[in-house]
């Protein structure tokens, strides 16, 4: 049961990154690709009906983590106390910016929420990346089975590193660029005219820089977590997922080069999902790597609840997850096509 639940939880969180990722990317690009009120309303209308549903994947994935691996949820969330609280405040402000901007017709009101939306989305994209960086690099889990870390301490990764160091910031920046490319493709798909053109250009540039950074990120990951490549190379699933990364990335490149945002978006969604999947498959069974000593790491077997509990949860997940996917397809089909504002 543990491998299955490890896969379900990782999969749900990866879906979260793919889905909320495009609206974070759209937010990062908001002030750049949309220059006047109509264009900005177009961007918001493109994500308006879906962003809340996208964010639910975080809550559902977090809930699944809580249920399946209570120890990892407890140790991880309390260990990242301050950064998580900062993230929550920004998530709140950003959610409000999307929902409240349209309620008052006033340029200052709109400008305030536009800026909140853009800054909030940018911050969250970087923080999500840095969080992934922390999971890959490890946290100072000690003999008590808990950890606490400062926001930043040493510049280069070390057992004393804070949440932010050169490595996690690098992953954060890479994530921002990748999500910017992802969101740019979404906007190119949903918008017409200048917003479409600027979004496509932004997506090309973002993915280009992200592509250049990718080998550096991979190399740095092997440096901070030396046991990872060796373990990963022996797992067939890692190779399959890595092949899927390559295939998705090919679709992404074709979509970007030929200016076909639909293909590019599917490619970028696939790339993000399989990249995260590869990382999770390589990382199994470790949930929280200890940067103090590998023997202190928290793995899925130690953190899991009982087999009975996991089996029960699997039975309702087999009902609930297809329903959730069904809603998503339903809403995506209803709101398919280009966004146009009606005044």
Partner 1 sequence: MSDPLFWHRLHFGFTVTYHYLFPQLTMGLAFLIVLFKWKAFRTGSTLHDEAARFWARIFGISFAMGVVTGIPLEFQFGTNWSRFSHFAGGVIGQTLAMEGMFAFFLESTFLGLFLYGEKRFGPRMHLASAVALWLGSWLSGYFIIATNAFMQSPVGHSIGPDGRLQLEDFWAFVLNPWGIWQYLHNMTASVVTASFVVAAVGAYWSLSGRQREHATLALRTGVIAGLIASCLMVFPTGDRHGRLLAEKQPATLAAMEGLFESKPGAELAIIGQPDVMHRRLENPVVVPGMLSFLIYGSFGSTVTGLDRIPVDRWPDNIELLYYSYHVMAGLGTLFIALMALAAFLLWRGRLEETRPVLWALMLAMPFPYIATTAGWMTAELGRQPWLVYGLMRTSEGTSPRVSAGNALFTLIGFSGLYLVMGILFLYLVGREIAHGPGTPSHQTRVTRTPDLAGEVG
Output 196 or 217, the one with its CB closest to partner 1: 196
Residue 22 binding partner 1, by CB under 8 A: no
Task: Return the exposure string of 325-342: e unless at least 16 CB atoms fall within 10 Å of the residue's CB, then b.
Answer: eeebeeeeeeeeeebeee
Q: Of residues 27, 76, 172, 267, which one binds partner 1 by CB under 8 A?
A: 76
User: Which of 66, 112, 214, 239 is in the footprint of partner 1 by CB under 8 A?
Assistant: 66
Q: Which residues contact 136 (CB under 8 A, 6 or more apart)?
A: 171, 221, 224, 225, 228, 279, 283, 289
Place of tokens 């397809």: 329
Residues between 148 and 177 with contacts to partner 1, criterion CB under 8 A: 148
Kindly state the tokens that stand for 65. 């983590």
Least Cα distance to 26 among 172, 203, 284, 252 occurs for 203
Q: Are 51 and 94 in contact (CB under 8 A)?
A: no
| Residue 264, burial from CB neighbour count under 10 angstroms (0-12, 13-18, 19+) | buried
Query: ∠ CA 208-202-19 to the nearest 5 degrees?
Result: 90
Residue span 80-99 as binding mask against partner 1, x where in contact by CB under 8 A, dash where not: xxx-xx--xx-xxx-xx--x
User: Tokens representing 324?
Assistant: 């959730």
Residue 255 beta carbon to partner 1: minimum distance, rounded to whole angstroms: 12
Rounded to the nearest whole angstrom, what is the least distance from the CB of residue 223 to partner 1 in the complex? 28
- The tokens describing 267, both together, are 């490619």
Cβ proximity to partner 1, 78 vs 293, nearer residue? 78
Cα–Cα distances in Å, from 117 out to 30, 101, 112, 322, 338? 8, 10, 9, 31, 22
Closest distance to partner 1 from the beta carbon of 298 (Å):
11
Which of 22, 28, 117, 147 touches partner 1 (CB under 8 A)?
Answer: 147
Q: Is 105 in the site for partner 1 (CB under 8 A)?
A: yes
> Do the beta carbons of residue 187 and residue 146 sit within 8 Å?
no
The yes or no reply on residue 194 touching partner 1 (CB under 8 A) is no
Of 26 and 220, CB closest to partner 1: 26
Q: Which is nearer to partner 1, 103 or 219 (CB)?
A: 103
Nearer Cβ to partner 1 (120/181): 120
Q: How far is the CB of 220 from partner 1 (least distance, A)?
A: 28
> By C-beta, is 233 or 325 nearer to partner 1?
325
The residue from 31, 37, 70, 111 that contacts partner 1 (CB under 8 A) is 70
By C-beta, is 36 or 103 nearer to partner 1? 103
Q: How far is residue 243's CA from residue 246's CA, in Å, rounded to a whole number?
A: 5
- Compute the distance between CA of residue 130 and CA of residue 194 in angstroms, rounded to an integer: 33
Task: Map the footprint of partner 1 across residues 24-63, applying CB under 8 A.
Answer: 41, 44-45, 48-50, 52-53, 55-56, 58-63
Of residues 228 through 287, those in contact with partner 1 by CB under 8 A are 262, 265
Distance of alpha carbon 238 from the chain centroid:
19
Pairwise CA distance, residues 88 & 39, whole Å:
28
Based on the shown chain and the rule CB under 8 A, indicate whether residue 312 belongs to the binding site for partner 1.
Answer: yes
In the list 64, 136, 238, 287, the residue contacting partner 1 (rule: CB under 8 A) is 64
| Choice between 100 and 212, CB closer to partner 1 | 100
Q: Is 330 in the site for partner 1 (CB under 8 A)?
A: yes
């Amino acid at each position: 049961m543990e491998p299955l639940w490890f896969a379900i939880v990782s999969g749900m969180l990866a879906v979260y990154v793919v889905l909320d990722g495009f609206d974070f990317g759209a937010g990062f690009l908001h002030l750049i690709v949309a220059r006047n009120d109509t264009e900005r309303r177009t961007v918001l209308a493109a994500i308006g009906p879906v962003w809340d549903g996208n964010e639910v994947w975080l809550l559902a994935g977090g809930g699944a983590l809580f249920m399946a691996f209570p120890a990892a949820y407890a140790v991880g969330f309390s260990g990242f106390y301050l950064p998580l609280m900062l993230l929550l405040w920004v998530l709140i402000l950003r959610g409000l910016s999307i929902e409240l901007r349209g309620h008052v017709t006033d340029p200052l009101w709109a400008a305030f929420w536009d800026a909140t939306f853009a800054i909030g989305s940018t911050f969250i994209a970087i923080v999500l990346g840095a969080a992934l960086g922390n999971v890959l690099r490890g946290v100072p889990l000690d003999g008590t089975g808990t950890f606490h870390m400062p926001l930043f301490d040493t510049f280069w990764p070390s057992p004393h590193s804070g949440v932010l160091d050169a490595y996690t910031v690098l992953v954060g920046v890479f994530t921002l660029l990748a999500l910017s490319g992802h969101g740019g493709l979404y906007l190119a798909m949903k918008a017409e005219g200048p917003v479409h053109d600027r979004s496509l250009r932004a997506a090309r540039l973002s993915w280009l820089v992200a592509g250049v950074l990718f080998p550096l990120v991979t190399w740095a990951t092997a440096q901070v977590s030396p046991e990872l490549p060796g373990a990963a190379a022996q797992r067939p699933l890692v190779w399959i997922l890595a092949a899927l990364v390559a295939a998705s990335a090919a679709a992404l490149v074709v979509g970007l080069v030929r200016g076909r945002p639909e293909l590019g978006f599917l490619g970028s969604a696939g790339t993000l999902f399989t990249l995260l999947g590869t990382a999770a498959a390589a990382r199994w069974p470790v949930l929280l790597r200890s940067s103090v000593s590998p023997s202190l790491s928290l793995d899925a077997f130690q953190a899991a609840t009982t087999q009975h509990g996991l089996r029960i949860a699997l039975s309702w997940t087999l009902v609930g997850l297809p329903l959730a996917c069904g809603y998503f397809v339903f809403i995506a089909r209803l709101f398919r096509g280009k966004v146009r504002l009606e005044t």
